[in-house]
Copies of this chain bind each other. A is one copy, B any other.
Amino acid sequence: MITVLRLGHRARRDHRVTTHCALVSRAFGADAFVFSGDRDSSIILSVDDVVKRWGGPFEISYVPSWRTWLNKQKAKIVHLTMYGQELNKAIPCIRKVKGDLILIVGGEKVPREVYEKADFNVSVTLQPHSEVAGIAVFLDHYFKGKELVKKFKKPEIKVIPQEEGKKVVKL
């Protein structure tokens, strides 16, 4: 089981980026998404709506204290940070982990404690870019691209791939 933890959500500024983080977590094969910072029920509603229509399972929840939540978890922790080890070097070790994984992405300023708690601090490119892309590319490498064709359970609709135009079918 892979849970993505997004730290330090700010309701106004981060609304769309955190929503994208959650949708990317689902689309690229994570099982759950937890965020801390500002409480923001509209993100939960919109992600739950995607799960209802496009399939699951995928859980999203808000926790007031990421620290309290994290201290209860037994999973190994991967922290995505541009300062960490290179993805290609880290991923073979991470793939050997048995049991659950927590993938942490930060907000504006990540406390030093997160670097220390992490079993793996991992950088996707060593360049400044986006936590949205970090989650996607990490999971894509972790699953070796198999998540690209993941089948979700109980979708109401699905896309039929087209060379041109759009085709969505109700199930």
Contacts and interface: CB of A to CB of B under 8 A. Distances in A.
Contacts of A137: 133, 136-137, 140
A54 interface: yes
A20 B133 contact: yes
Interface stretch (A37-45, A60-68, A161-169): A161-169
B116 A84 contact: no
A162 B89 CA distance: 12
B126 A158 contact: yes
Contact of A121 (B14, B50, B132, B163): B163
21 contacts: A17-B17, A17-B20, A20-B129, A23-B128, A23-B130, A27-B133, A81-B166, A83-B162, A88-B145, A112-B165, A115-B164, A116-B164, A121-B162, A121-B163, A123-B161, A124-B148, A125-B148, A127-B159, A130-B132, A132-B136, A133-B135
Query: 5 closest pairs, A vs B, by CB?
Result: A133-B136, A20-B130, A27-B127, A27-B129, A83-B166
